[in-house]
Amino acid sequence: MKNALAQADHAVEALRAQRQDDYYPQFHLAAAAGWINDPNGLVYINGVYHAFYQHHPYDQNWGPMHWGHATSRDLAHWQHQPIALAPGESYDKDGCFSGCAVDDNGVLTLLYTGHVWLGKEGDDDQVREVQCLATSEDGVNFVKHGPVLLPPEGIQHFRDPKVWRAADRWWMVVGAKENGLGQARLYRSNDLRDWQFDRVLAGAQSPHQGYMWECPDFFPLGEKQVLLFSPQGLTAQGYRNRNRFQSGYLLGHWRPDEDFSVTQSFCELDGGHDFYAPQTFTAADGRRMLFAWMDMWESPMPSKPHGWAGALTLPRELTLSCEGNVLMNPARELTALRGEQQSFDAVSVRNQRQVLTDGVQELTLTLNVVASDAERYGIVIGTAARLYVDNQTHRLVLERFSEDPGLCGCRSVPLPEADILSLRVFIDRSSLEVFVNHGEACLTSRIYPTDGQRSVTLFAEGGLAQFGAAQAWELESIWE
């Protein structure tokens, strides 16, 4: 594997020398160059946070998957590390697909899917996927130990292991496709190497619930247990399930050696255009944290001509609301990136636009929903997007604009039942992340302003809008 890793690192360096940074993120994790998708192997071990990700280092398109790698000591500032895994063995020759990382008595241990095309490359009807193990003594260089779990008879699509420890055992949930229906399969082990099937944790009962469940994750949150996964094949219904694929969760109760008792049906985790394959991890102080891929399959990616494609969301903290819903908020560590604060007084806007500020990356503001009668009101981000309350549909809408029709359109969430709407907005070179009412809803979308402008303007159409006081910050780069 050493030669393959050296060649991959060299390829990234060559691409990096030609990379254009018009859209390259300042405060989101991305590869130095090349393609990335799912976050993998998120873990805190020996005082260091590790974020791995699906990576094709040879160009800006999806290809044989490697594991890219970055590390941090504070969840705010990061360093690129050498590529951790490269395909090439008989069991992973066509890709080191998604997986996870665990702390095995101080040893950083990766579990990932070895992918092999049995027929023509790209033919999803002829694949073999096995769960593999690799370890590292120094947190940078890894040794492969081969497959530790083979697929059950009759199942080809069998991937994305997520492992945790409970009741003095290791547990693994794996995404699978059986008889055209997605499922999350549960396994148990005493040593991470010998695995026994426990049960099907949950599965689709009809094609409308997904033909494949990718990237499952299973963890406690408050008094509930969360099954997080990315179902493929959900049918769009009104405002719901508008993306190519979705990501969301089931809530319920679980104890080792018992069934998962679902108490709340599937709920999308993020309402934006670009959010997929989320994975959680535990912070140093025990908080449940999450990264996701900040892109979507089969969507235009204007950064490709610039030598790179794909980024991860900001790290997010998960909590459970009193009503039993999952809340997502930016990691508190991100305040370390803030520069000087700008403050703005409350203002009324009627049938006009009013420039608020320019050159900021984080903005917090409130909108008085009760005192506002405008048909639409909110903020405009340069020429690339606008975020607004639609009083006629009672929804919060994120609308993006582009010369490419494939990058135009709206995503929205129901307007929370509150007099005041609180928004926290992060504006990077090619993305927006919106956190609504302290995590009740989130909207994540890639944007590509052709003129580079990301100024923030308040607006109101068809009436009056009342904006509360606002604060804004420029954010420093995350790269050390």
124 classed as catalytic? no
Cβ contact 390:376 at 8 Å? yes
Cβ contact 430:27 at 8 Å? no
Give the Cβ contact number of residue 414 at 10 Å: 14
User: Which residues fall within 8 angstroms of residue 320, CB to CB, at 6 or more apart?
Assistant: 221, 222, 223, 224, 326, 327
CA distances in angstroms from 241 to 266, 310, 363, 415, 439, listed in the order given = 11, 21, 28, 18, 20
What is the 3-state composition of the chain as percent helix, strand, coil, each rounded to the nearest 5? 5, 55, 40
How far apart are alpha carbons 138 and 105 in whole angstroms?
14
Cβ contact 77:26 at 8 Å? no
Cβ contact 62:335 at 8 Å? no
Q: How many helices (DSSP H) and strands (DSSP E) are in the chain?
A: 1, 33
Quote the distance between the C-alpha of residue 301 and its chain's center: 17
Q: Which residue has the tokens 């951790």?
A: 84
How far apart are alpha carbons 246 and 242 in whole angstroms?
8
User: Which residues fall within 8 angstroms of residue 335, CB to CB, at 6 or more apart?
Assistant: none
Nearest Cα neighbor of 41 from 60, 54, 58, 27 is: 54
26, two tokens: 């300042």
Buried b (16+ CB within 10 A) or exposed e, 436-457: bbebbbbbbbbbbbeeeebbbb
Q: Could you report how far apart the first and last alpha carbons of the chain are, in Å? A: 28
How far apart are alpha carbons 423 and 365 in whole angstroms?
5
Q: Beta partners for 363?
A: 425, 472
Pairing of strands 441-446, 431-436: antiparallel
Cβ contact 449:427 at 8 Å? no
How far apart are alpha carbons 382 and 443 in whole angstroms?
18
- DSSP letter for 207, please: G
Which is catalytic among the residues 9, 38, 390, 428? 38
What residues are annotated to the active site? 38
